[in-house]
Copies of this chain bind each other. A is one copy, B any other.
Amino acid sequence: MNEDIKVVLIGAGRIATHLGKVLLGSGVKIKQVYNRSLGAAKRLGETLDCQYINQPTSIDLNADLYIVCVSDQAIESIAAQFSFLDQKDKLIVHTSGATPGKVFEGHFRRYGVFYPLQSFSTEQEVDFQAIPICIDANTQADVQLLQGLATGISPKVYAINDEDRKLLHVAAVFVNNFSNHLSALMDQWLTAEQIPFELLQPLIQMTAQKLEKQSPATAQTGPAIRGDIDTIARHLDVLAEKKPELLPLYKWMTRSINPNLLPE
């Protein structure tokens, strides 16, 4: 079915690159890549073996879907710039978890969201089979069109409205950005103390892997959930001596895991 869908990519960054490749692999016809910078458009256009352009007026008017893969801040102005596509009754979507689909309202009558819930890095190859795709559109027919497209690249397709996606994006920040930052804080600290951070590597992997089979609540271990106040007291001493700026975080987390501990 994806063979019938003609797509134009607006943007040529990480998401456009990963998404373009996997869509192409699923049989979608990528008609063009647009990017303000012709160099970036060319790079991705050559990768995907399609036209590349840097003038909005050169855009192909015969695609079925225009996928906006730009930073959150730029989506609205792109919507305005390409609003002439609405005269051709075209469907436009963006790939952002943080921006509502309604950003297109006023510029487009047919709009939606095609949000792969993952953190993309340039270097790493992406296995879309494992990535949930959250789709939304303002008509049921377009939800179905996006559903078809998404199903071609991942078995995990979810219809998620603006309200729920907003919440999901906050949650992604907690489990991805904040969790990674915990590791960054420990890396900084251990390295300064000349203890190899690699010692924590297997534990970090195991922490994530456990959640493939258990809920986080049942996977919880450690002094806080055990109510082990002696160990916690020792930890507070270490932090007070060596890393006092982390005391508020340690206390907040400990109380959140076990509200009976550390009364204020």
Contact = CB atoms under 8 A, between A and B. Distances in A.
Q: Specify how many copies of this chain sit in the oligomer.
A: 2
Given A72-B228, A164-B193, A175-B183, A204 B211 contact: yes
A257 interface: yes
A1 interface: no
Given A172-B203, A228-B73, A238-B166, A216 B177 contact: no
Contacts of A131: 202
Contacts of A219: 121, 180
A215 interface: yes
Interface string A231-259: 10011001100100010111011001100
Contacts of A170: 235, 238-239, 250
A231 B73 CA distance: 9
A49 to B, nearest CB: 28
A63 to B, nearest CB: 29
Interface of A: 71-73, 98, 117-119, 121, 124, 130-132, 134, 156, 158, 160, 164, 166-190, 193, 195-217, 219-225, 228, 230-231, 234-235, 238-239, 242, 246, 248-250, 252-253, 256-257
